[in-house]
Chains A and B, each alone.
Chain A
Amino acid sequence: MNRLLSNVVGSFVEAWQELRIHKTRVMLSLIGVAVAVCAITTVVGLGAVAQQALQEQNEQQGGRAATLSLYVAKYDGTPVDAEVMEELWTTTLDRYGIDYASRVVNSSQTVQFADGAVPVRVTAVDQPYGTMHRVRLTEGDWFGATDADRLAPAVLVNQVFYDRLGQPDLATHPTTTLLGDRPTTAVITGVYPVSTWDTEPAMYLLADTLAGLSSPEQQAANGVVPNYEMWVPAGLSEELTKAIQRDFTAAIGSGTNVSVSRQDYAAFNEDPFGSIKLLVAGVAGLVLLLGALGLVNIALVTLKQRIREIGVRRSFGATAGRVFFSVMMESIVATLVAGVVGVIGAVLIVTNPMLQGFISQGAVTDFPPFPVEAAILGLVCATVVGALAGLLPALVAVRVKVIDAIRY
């Protein structure tokens, strides 16, 4: 134990001395490793931001895992009676104990702006939709339980819409006029962010609000058929899909198309980010390999100059194992330091707001912190590269003929 401890400490001391003395060589060889580790950590770190962006976008579009989508329409194109559907929908939710469910109607609503009436994309939903699609607001709050009872309906507008209004303070209860059969004044209660490429105004309404804005005939004429979404446990999704399909088909009867399917991103692939991860890992691995090759190269060249020193150490009792370990240690200590530098660089790069904005394209509301696994991966890679790059020189060092090395 005592021998092991003094051997390990001794090797560290030797490695540190060696690094201190050959600063320039070490710096040169480590620049490659530091850059490689920085690259691999940055790529993994940015991968996490990109993944978050992708996931948020997917969740906003398709809902969280597992979101079931129910679509019912008659084969002749006429809508199913709204009351029947309403009844069936409520019963189904009760029967299966589904708490998070929402009707989703995509429609268009003319809105009066200062510069004229403009058609605005509307997504009419129920209150749980905000949680199901992880909708985040930059200002105000998502629909509350009492919003359905408002006399002036609540409306959530996107940033483009809000900018167009001149960004009024929400505390002053700004209003907007929804035109149509029954022009209505709505109160803006929240603002949600948009991607940088999204330049059109849009808004969320409660489904009941939308129904009140135009007559059922008008809606039918517009071809508005609601979609029904349910957020269910992923493990139960298949059973529920079958059960709900069966229930609706039985209740509505023939001549109707009932379709229940998963629509969230996780439904399409086991690991939707697998291919991205693979690509990132491949590129990073290649970068690291190049760094390692540079390190081995420099280590081997400089070893020639160190043969005498190794001979001297051997003559003073350094065992072959000790020489091997010391040379190896030197490589590992050096690459570990380079790894730390690389990781720090990567953290600075990844958390840079400009870069984050570029990667996320405004689609990420919730920036993940710098992923710890990326930092650990960087350090592990540095250590492994150090060990691998140290292996060859260490093997050469062990084979040094002591007296020849000293006397040559």
Chain B
Amino acid sequence: MTLLHLAGVTRTVQLIDAPPLTILSGVDLDVAVGDRVSIVGRSGSGKSTLLNLLGLLDNPTTGDLEFDGRPVKSFSSAERDRVRGRDVGFIFQQFNLLQGRTALENVMTPLLYAQGKQFWQRARIATEMLDRVGLGHRLGAMPDKLSGGEQQRVAIARSLVRGPRLILADEPTGALDLETGADVMALLDEVATGSGAALITITHDPAIAALATRHLRLDHGVLTVVGAPDDSALLGGDVPDDLRDDDLAAVPA
């Protein structure tokens, strides 16, 4: 079942005293429930803009973008926000946990925008979710008392707590060491599989990209399908040229 459908999507930005800048051009993409998609690309290749579109935070300039079979352009602003809250979970590179709130409160945050059972039973649901990511014993911990890996696990719990059908992971391991990154990705994959959600990972890291079943590359606003990297990529060895990203250190120290 197709969850996201992009056909001929372009996004241009009007600049003052300059011709319009095309950030994305002719993007075609179909994402179905349960898909594992990775998108690699250099800085400035349009990843953020694509993430905006996929996460229903922005509208394409031209082309069709459908979510769950409905054109996104037909959504009102509030409706788009509600669909995003219900069906899309975000995971960020810098975790972006809300400071000063406990792990539990952070995971409860998306449920504050839900209704009915999800809203009123948010504490119980969030506790269960933290249990699932192995942090049932750190409910009351503040983000600054958690390690990087733990923070990202809280972020994963937060993104999944409303049972989204699409998970957008923006450089999910960018701020983690190799081993922790692998752990986090394994957890993310496991939880996403358990919930049947589609997972789109935007990354610089070929090793992380290799975990997906479909591999895409964004280059100067053009999205292309690339072949699967071989296993050596996972071991930090040779990475196929079309997955190599020159402008980054794949794994931070």
Q: Which of A20, A317, A322, A404 has the most CB of B within 10 A?
A: A317
Do B115 and A13 touch (CB < 8 A)?
A: no
Interface residue SS majority, chain B: helix
Beyond A402-B57, A403-B51, is A318–B85 a contact (Cβ under 8 Å)? yes
CB distance from B172 to the nearest CB of A (A): 13
Q: Which of B96-155 contact A (CB under 8 A)?
A: 96, 98-101, 105, 109-110, 112-116, 119-120
Closest to B80 in A: A319
Do B77 and A403 touch (CB < 8 A)?
A: no
CB distance from B119 to the nearest CB of A (A): 4
Q: How many Å lie between the Cα of A301 and that of B86 in the bound state? A: 32
Q: Which residues of A contact B (CB under 8 A)?
A: 2-3, 6, 9-10, 13-14, 17, 20-22, 308-309, 311-322, 402-404, 406-407
How many residues of chain B get a CB closer than 8 Å to chain A's CBs? 34
B110: A residues at CB distance < 8 A: 316-317
Do B105 and A17 touch (CB < 8 A)?
A: yes
Closest to A321 in B: B78
A13: B residues at CB distance < 8 A: 112
Do B99 and A21 touch (CB < 8 A)?
A: yes
Q: Which of A314, A316, A320, A407 has the most CB of B within 10 A?
A: A316
Do A21 and B100 touch (CB < 8 A)?
A: yes
Given A10-B119, A20-B100, A319-B77: 9 more A-B contacts, CB < 8 Å: A6-B119, A10-B113, A14-B112, A22-B100, A317-B85, A317-B113, A402-B52, A402-B57, A407-B170
Closest to B49 in A: A403
Q: Which of B52, B81, B96, B112 has the most CB of A within 10 A?
A: B112
Do B78 and A6 touch (CB < 8 A)?
A: no
Q: How many Å lie between the Cα of A404 and that of B110 in the bound state? A: 20
Q: Which of B51, B93, B119 has the most CB of A within 10 A?
A: B119
Closest to A402 in B: B57
Do A317 and B101 touch (CB < 8 A)?
A: no
B98: A residues at CB distance < 8 A: 309, 312
Interface residue SS majority, chain A: helix
B162: A residues at CB distance < 8 A: 317
A318: B residues at CB distance < 8 A: 81, 85, 112-113
B67: A residues at CB distance < 8 A: none
CB distance from A13 to the nearest CB of B (A): 6
Do B96 and A314 touch (CB < 8 A)?
A: no
Beyond A314-B81, A317-B84, A318-B81, is A406–B92 a contact (Cβ under 8 Å)? yes
Do B48 and A313 touch (CB < 8 A)?
A: no
21 contacts between A and B (CB under 8 A): A2-B116, A6-B114, A6-B120, A10-B113, A13-B112, A14-B112, A21-B101, A312-B109, A315-B57, A315-B90, A316-B84, A316-B110, A316-B158, A317-B81, A317-B82, A317-B84, A318-B81, A319-B81, A319-B82, A403-B55, A403-B58
Q: How many Å lie between the Cα of A217 and that of B110 in the bound state? A: 98
CB distance from A339 to the nearest CB of B (A): 25
A20: B residues at CB distance < 8 A: 100
B77: A residues at CB distance < 8 A: 319-320
Per-residue CB proximity of B150-187 to A under 8 Å, as 1/0?
Answer: 00000000100010000000100000000000000000
A2: B residues at CB distance < 8 A: 115-116
